Structure formats: C-alpha cells, structure tokens
Copies of this chain bind each other. A is one copy, B any other.
Amino acid sequence: MPQNKKQSDDKIARFESALKAAGLKLTYQRLEIFRELANAADHPTVEILHQRLKNRIPTLSLDTIYRTLATLEQHGLITRVQTAESQAHFELTIPHHHHLICEKCGRITDFDWPAFDNAPLPEKVSSWGKVFHRKAILHGRCLVCQSVLT
C-alpha cells in the first residue's frame, strides 16, 4: 500500500515542520508518539499508547507521553477526544469529522457528515457567542455488539 505509506510520510513531514515552527525540539519520543497516534485507527488512551510503544522504546515513561500529548494538543497537532470515560482519548487533529460511540464496547469510530458541517446554526447560537468548531456525536450500538447477547 504505497498510497498509505505516502500519506503517513506526509503526516510525519508536516509534524516535523510544525514542531520546528513552534520552536519545539524534534525528539525521538515525540516523533514516535505522534507516529503511533497517526497510525492508530482507534482513539487510544495514554496507557494504550504506552503499551504499544514500550516494545520499541522500553524506557519511555508515562509522564513523557502525558507531557508530549499535552504539548501537541496545545499546538493543535492532536485533539483530546471527549468521552464519558475517566481516561482521556486522543487522535490526530482532523477537521470536520464526527464520532460514533458504541455504548457497549466504548469504541469510537470516525465518520464524515458534510451536510452537518454546512447546516445553518439555530438563531440562539449567534446570541451566545462565536462558534469555531462543531461536532456530532452519535451514541448507539455497533454491529458487533448487536450480535452479542445482553
């Protein structure tokens, strides 16, 4: 899959220049944490990222992941996903995408909804203030969990 490889390289390249532009140092840890998140189809937690990365980087500390994610979030490179769980989930910053959340397994799936992105907002909203981002979150049960009892 040369196309996916190419896209992945693009992300890394953009990441590297974004770090430089922000005056942040390009460290092995930051690169690998970002790469892991970029390749993850799910929306991993800090703990999960640590599990996945410590094979490659045995000395990687949890604190570094927390710090790195916080730094990258501040610079808009990654986004903290809102869930009702106690552990925070993360994803690359991708505009205009929305979330399906299975209330049984908790998995978060991305989907696009251009009609929602472009729909006019209700009047009350303009009297509240200025909106920068909009997000749709759908809760339900995924096909896998529908086929499971209870």
Task: Please give the residue numbers on chain A whose beta carbons come within 8 Å of chain B beta carbons, in ascending order.
Answer: 80, 82-84, 88, 100, 102-103, 109, 111-113, 115-116, 119-122, 124-125, 127-146
**How far does the Cβ of A85 sit from chain B's closest Cβ, in whole Å?**
9
Q: What are 6 sample pairs from A and B whose C-beta atoms fall under 8 A apart?
A: A113-B121, A129-B141, A130-B140, A130-B141, A134-B138, A134-B139
Instruction: Check A129 against B145 for contact (C-beta < 8 Å).
Output: yes
Asked, given contacts A84-B80, A134-B137, A136-B134, whether A146 binds B124 with beta carbons under 8 Å apart, the answer is no
Residues of B within 8 A of A115 (CB): 119-120, 122
Given A116-B119, A134-B139, 12 further pairs, Cβ under 8 A: A82-B137, A102-B129, A103-B132, A111-B125, A112-B124, A115-B119, A115-B120, A127-B143, A129-B142, A129-B145, A130-B141, A133-B138
